[in-house]
Amino acid sequence: MVRRKKAQWKAQQEVFYQRGKVIFDRVQPELIKTHYNWYMAVEPDSGDYFIDKDELTAINKSCQQHPNAPVFIFRINETGIAGTITIRGRFGDESSYFLKSS
């Protein structure tokens, strides 16, 4: 039972990541020119994204617009990897952080 829940949770994370990545991939080529290494918080349901030099500020901008909505954090660079997924409300506790290696 625990393994099944963990597998389901990981599958949900991957689907969420892919939904956010579509948005990131669409805007990254333009943003990388002027906002290199800034953070981008993506709220996939709305398609909205929020950028800032500071990761928490980008997250807070998203929270102001979309309270309790999950948000995925990307880094505006060649890989997009920021090191964390921040999900609120849908997949567990109010503030969960986990690593995404690729």
The predicted-structure confidence for 44-75, as pLDDT tens digits, reads as follows: 999 999 999 999 999 999 999 999 898 999 99
* pLDDT(96) > 60: no
pLDDT at 32 over 80: yes
Cβ of 96: how many Cβ atoms within 10 Å? 17
User: What pTM was computed for the model?
Assistant: 0.76
DSSP structural state of residue 54: S
Task: Give Cα separations from 50 to 7, 55, 71 (angstroms).
Answer: 30, 10, 10
Asked if 61 and 50 touch (Cβ cutoff 8 Å), the reply is yes
Q: Where are the domains of the chain?
A: 2-98
Report CA 76 to chain centroid distance, whole Å. Answer: 12
